[in-house]
Chain A
């Protein structure tokens, strides 16, 4: 990349955050604008700070919440929230103590802004175009929907950012994903990203930052863009980004941490300079015709093992990974998933737990009942999403149908908090990972959109939601 020539969105955000350029012997020192912290990947990092007598360099650029191991069982206002798992309770207490001791603001369990870290960052206006954002969580890529460079880090790096507000980074390559056309009715952002991962594979974007481009991306709402960027890591990408535009600015405007007045005007002016310049080179390009996509569902044990909802399970043809996946899932090559009974439906996670996701699901639940024998969990991404959903009566639609309306958190996506599948159970989940045991040891996951998940909930089987929308 030449500094003078046309530059990509990634090039611009990267360049504006280089504190010390890379040399032949050392990677670049990259500044972090926002560090999001949660209870699972931070305790050892705070312990390191204590061991070395270090402070948190920028508590004002650090925001914490608890989401992974917190219970989502319905609760009553004013009553203390029990955490039955003593280890999880200790982890939650540790985060409270760490935030208190190091001066970090915390949206604690029971507070009105608590939620999944990747839902509350944007919701609070903490996530803004052009920023660098990190968190000890691989789905930090979600925030790239705003034109931020956002990526997951390990606990050692959580310690680095707490202590120095910086990371040592070698420059990733860039991958342009050009999404042509428009998504057909009943085909969602989740289907788009599952289709891309099925095409390029779960290691297909290793070493790259993806920029999602083209008319199909421009037409997406912010929440849909977050769904797309969220799963960038499932293709192995370091991050996923979408250039900010009026859709972005409208969504950010007026949020609690968004700039106000003259500062807002100045911010928007600078954000308008972020999109990739015409002719800027990418290391690789992949083109997808969005208008040819169909609702997607996974059949296997990684997010790249996806097929159109009416498709058939592929023949492993000697591929040991696929053979193992089909054995684990109890599926046969050539079989159609459509019509297969399911035990559990999970609507939630940092991928699909925002208001528009819940509205889509509710459009299928309305006037219908959960099929007998199916357990349905609807888990809003944050307390704010929960309040907004309740204000428009979505909770009543879910409850009347026979679904469980829960408190906000990661819940059944990661199965750390008591919400989990039993061995052998089949679930249709709107989450992001179908790895073996991800939703509980022995549990079997089909990843899909909120529409497909809702259709499975009311029919008790894998179904094509498009038939219910007509």
Chain B
């Protein structure tokens, strides 16, 4: 896992509300068994027409979107299916963070486990981001702060343990594997058939 501290990038905005993970990556692309190669399918049915040609009006297809590593989304981004492929597609395309008004729970968890930062901001910050399309933002995980091109800063909340893991390049699996003794003790205490209920 690579360490993440802070980065600066131009933004691209697609501020629609309730963008579900079927929009992020349609199910028909989920047949692969690898972790890579998902970026080309990101927002497939929004980005391309039925013949596979880029739709010029879609934000990611505009020339100024090239190189943007931060997506500005709307409310409840990533709702629906638990597919982690949605996160892999965003990262495969090149995104390092999604700034939104809010996130669906499973998507937020999946993003954090892969180092895609889900940054939830207040409406005022969101509005400023949208009023300056394409302008750069700095996302500082250590300080839990986004800084806009106009110098305005806003703090954001992020799960403290996920933040610790990302800052230090530790993955959660390593931490869980370290709990083996406690897990074995739990299993001895609860027994094989109990379904976790002390019998």
Specify which of B28, B105, B164 is in contact with A206 (CB 8 Å cutoff): B105
Is residue A321 contacting chain B, with contact meaning CB distance below 8 A? yes
Cα-based distance from A179 to B119 in the complex (angstroms): 36
A residues less than 8 Å from B196 (CB atoms): 13, 16-17, 31, 33, 130-132
Is residue A41 contacting chain B, with contact meaning CB distance below 8 A? yes
B residues less than 8 Å from A433 (CB atoms): 20, 22, 80-81
A-B contact count (CB 8 A): 198
Interface contact A156-B179, CB-CB below 8 Å:
no
Interface contact B81-A138, CB-CB below 8 Å:
yes
Interface contact B30-A40, CB-CB below 8 Å:
yes
A residues less than 8 Å from B102 (CB atoms): 203, 206
Interface size on A, residues (CB 8 A): 83
How far, in Å, is B188 (CB) from chain A's closest CB?
Answer: 12
Residues facing B in A254-273 (CB within 8 A) are 259, 263, 266-267, 270-271
How far, in Å, is A420 (CB) from chain B's closest CB?
Answer: 8
Is residue A81 contacting chain B, with contact meaning CB distance below 8 A? no
A residues less than 8 Å from B179 (CB atoms): 19-20, 29, 164, 166
Interface contact A156-B114, CB-CB below 8 Å:
yes
A residues less than 8 Å from B126 (CB atoms): none
How far, in Å, is B25 (CB) from chain A's closest CB?
Answer: 11
Is residue A460 contacting chain B, with contact meaning CB distance below 8 A? no
Is residue A159 contacting chain B, with contact meaning CB distance below 8 A? yes
How far, in Å, is A320 (CB) from chain B's closest CB?
Answer: 7
Specify which of A16, A48, A159, A207 is in contact with B197 (CB 8 Å cutoff): A16
Cα-based distance from A392 to B195 in the complex (angstroms): 34
Q: Is the contact region of chain A dominated by helix, strand, or loop, or is it mixed?
A: loop
How far, in Å, is A199 (CB) from chain B's closest CB?
Answer: 16
Interface contact A154-B18, CB-CB below 8 Å:
no
How far, in Å, is A235 (CB) from chain B's closest CB?
Answer: 10
**Chain B 165-181, CB within 8 Å of chain A: the 1/0 string?**
00000001101110110
> Knowing A156-B113, A321-B17 touch, does A436 contact B197 (C-beta < 8 A)?
no
- Which of A71-79, A84-92, A333-341, A376-384 sits within the interface? A84-92
How far, in Å, is B121 (CB) from chain A's closest CB?
Answer: 16
Residues facing A in B92-149 (CB within 8 A) are 102, 104-106, 109-110, 113-114
A residues less than 8 Å from B30 (CB atoms): 40, 68-69, 416
A residues less than 8 Å from B28 (CB atoms): 415-416, 420, 441
Specify which of B23, B82, B177, B186 is in contact with A31 (CB 8 Å cutoff): B186
Q: Which residue of B lies closest to A414 (CB)?
A: B27
> Knowing A69-B31, A88-B31 touch, does A206 contact B113 (C-beta < 8 A)?
no
> Knowing A154-B106, A157-B113, A320-B16 touch, does A438 contact B75 (C-beta < 8 A)?
no
B residues less than 8 Å from A69 (CB atoms): 30-31
Specify which of B50, B180, B182 is in contact with A441 (CB 8 Å cutoff): B50
Q: Which residue of A lies closest to B104 (CB)?
A: A236
B residues less than 8 Å from A165 (CB atoms): 183
Cα-based distance from A154 to B20 in the complex (angstroms): 15
Specify which of A19, A33, A163, A207 is in contact with B195 (CB 8 Å cutoff): A33
- Which of B2-10, B32-40, B56-64, B65-73 sits within the interface? B32-40
A residues less than 8 Å from B83 (CB atoms): 40-41, 154
Residue of B34, B172, B182, B197 contacting most chain A CB atoms (<10 Å): B197
How far, in Å, is A184 (CB) from chain B's closest CB?
Answer: 30
**Chain A 37-51, CB within 8 Å of chain B: the 1/0 string?**
000110110011000
Interface contact B22-A437, CB-CB below 8 Å:
yes
Cα-based distance from A170 to B196 in the complex (angstroms): 19
B residues less than 8 Å from A247 (CB atoms): none
Interface contact B197-A154, CB-CB below 8 Å:
no
Residue of B16, B28, B180, B187 contacting most chain A CB atoms (<10 Å): B28
How far, in Å, is A451 (CB) from chain B's closest CB?
Answer: 25
How far, in Å, is B104 (CB) from chain A's closest CB?
Answer: 6
Residue of B18, B34, B190 contacting most chain A CB atoms (<10 Å): B18
Specify which of A31, A41, A414, A437 is in contact with B45 (CB 8 Å cutoff): A437
Interface contact B27-A302, CB-CB below 8 Å:
no
Interface contact B199-A156, CB-CB below 8 Å:
no
> Knowing A131-B195, A168-B161 touch, does A203 contact B183 (C-beta < 8 A)?
no
Is residue A171 contacting chain B, with contact meaning CB distance below 8 A? no
Specify which of A29, A159, A170, A415 is in contact with B27 (CB 8 Å cutoff): A415
Interface contact B175-A168, CB-CB below 8 Å:
yes
Interface contact B76-A236, CB-CB below 8 Å:
yes
Interface contact B161-A26, CB-CB below 8 Å:
yes
Interface contact B197-A138, CB-CB below 8 Å:
no
Interface contact A128-B18, CB-CB below 8 Å:
no
A and B contact pairs by CB, cutoff 8 A, 7 listed = A16-B196, A91-B33, A137-B81, A154-B87, A155-B110, A156-B173, A437-B26
Rank and list the top 7 A-B pairs by shortest CB-CB distance, nearest first.
A43-B33, A87-B31, A154-B110, A154-B84, A203-B76, A152-B82, A156-B113
Footprint of A on B, CB under 8 Å?
A: 16-18, 20, 22-23, 26-28, 30-35, 45, 50, 75-76, 79-85, 87, 102, 104-106, 109-110, 113-114, 159-161, 164, 172-173, 175-177, 179-180, 182-183, 186-187, 190, 193-199
Q: A25-B161, A321-B17, A441-B26 are in contact. List 10 more A-B contacts (CB 8 A).
A: A47-B33, A69-B31, A130-B195, A155-B84, A160-B176, A164-B177, A170-B159, A259-B193, A270-B194, A302-B20
